Amino acid sequence: MGQTFTSDFRSCAVCNFWEGERQLNAFKDQVILDSPSIRGKCLLQGSAWKGWDMRAAYACSKWAKWTALRS
């Protein structure tokens, strides 16, 4: 069973700068992952975390909503 994150949940799974494997639900207002421990690289330029493998459930102050999500 997967893990769902709402579009306003400020975690890597919902961040525009995260490169982990994720999918949108049918309404494009939630992110669905196989597990919250899935890892993906942080792509935020100028971030101390750039290039690091970050877990989907992690968060930071530079979060920006994934552009694929509906507003």
Which residues have CB under 8 Å from 45's CB, separation 6+? none
Domain ranges in the chain? 3-55
pLDDT at 1 over 60: no
Which residues have CB under 8 Å from 23's CB, separation 6+? 31, 32, 33
pLDDT in tens, 40-52: 999 999 888 999 9
So what's the pLDDT on residue 2? 85
So what's the pLDDT on residue 56? 96
Q: What is the pTM of this model?
A: 0.90
pLDDT in tens, 15-69: 999 999 999 999 999 999 999 899 999 999 988 899 999 999 999 889 999 999 9
Q: In this structure, what are the phi and psi dihedrals at residue 51, rounded to the nearest 5 degrees?
A: 90, -10
